[in-house]
Amino acid sequence: MLRWAGSIVGVGGVALCITIVSQGMRSVEKIGGTCASGNTPFTIAHPCPAGVPGLLTGGIFAGLFFLALFVICVGERGRSTVLLAWSALFLALGWNFLDFGLHPTTGGTSVGFLVCAVIFILMGGVPLLYTIPQCIKALLGQDDSTSTPTAQPFSSTSVQFNSPTGWGATNTPPALTPTVWPVVTPAPATASRSASTAAASVTAAGGDVAGALEKLASLHARGELSDTEYEEAKRKTLQNPRST
């Protein structure tokens, strides 16, 4: 309940801050697009409208605070909606650029504002192509977290023991030293792999009997080799240490 309250307050606060920033930007664009404030040794040509510098600064930081509150409270499923804040901000500011680019206070059109309008609208609009389907999925309860897991680094799962060429030295990538093998997570097919293959592979990868025995012991300790398989592999390693 508290999390929902936090996410509602967060999303409302983000909307409030984006509105304040957008309105502050419009007030600056009304006086030509630039302004300055504060104690300076120079004469300020375009003083900022009263309160706008504080509102813009405060709006940005308060918006980040409310966005963080929303991210913390919304949970995993609704997290894809966070990108909407990005689109909302840039589309709002892009609209301001477009509005004042077509109707500047000085008359005519302002090419600089129009260029900014195109950039901002693209920056805000393109992510919507990704965000909107994600939001629809979140609304319908189709959670991405139950789908295909993300790819793992090479040293963890991409080495498959049941690959056509097996686990031999000829299939060993250069980056994988023998000390990496104990941390490799085996594929399910490993269980059916014979102990003799394990012994041959470990010996071939390591090149010395002691190292091979250590690796077999490590595999056995992690439960990837049964007692029988471990004993058989150890025996074969000791009998034929240079087998491939």
Q: Least distance from C-beta 174 to other proteins, angstroms? A: 51
- Residue 37 interacting with other proteins (CB under 8 A): no
Measured from the CB of residue 107, what is the shortest distance to other proteins in angstroms?
A: 25
Site pattern 131..150 for other proteins (x: CB under 8 A): --------x-x---------
Rule CB under 8 A: say whether 17 interacts with other proteins: yes
Least distance from other proteins to the Cβ atom of residue 113, Å: 21
Does the protein bind other proteins through residue 4 (CB under 8 A)?
yes
Residues numbered 47 to 66 that lie near other proteins (CB under 8 A) are 49-52, 54-55
CB-based burial, 181-201: b 16+ in 10 Å, e otherwise? beebebeeebeebebbbbbbb
Instruction: Give kind and range of the element (H or E) at residue 123.
Output: helix 111-140
The window from 17-25, 115-123, 143-151, 220-228 that contacts other proteins (CB under 8 A) reads: 17-25
Closest by CA position to 49, among listed 67, 68, 29, 69: 29
Residue 127 interacts with other proteins (CB under 8 A)? no
| Residue given tokens 């060993």 in the structure block | 172
Q: Is 14 in the site for other proteins (CB under 8 A)?
A: yes
- 32 vs 166 by CB, closer to other proteins: 32
Amino acid, res. 44: I
Q: Considering beta carbons, is residue 54 or 207 the nearer one to other proteins?
A: 54
Query: Hey, CA dihedral for 229, 235, 236, 242, is it positive or negative?
Result: positive
CA-based nearest residue to 161, from 135, 133, 197, 126: 197
DSSP-assigned beta bridge partners for residue 36? 47
Q: What is the DSSP letter of 154?
A: I
- Chain positions contacting other proteins, by CB under 8 A: 4, 7-9, 11-20, 22-24, 27, 49-52, 54-55, 139, 141
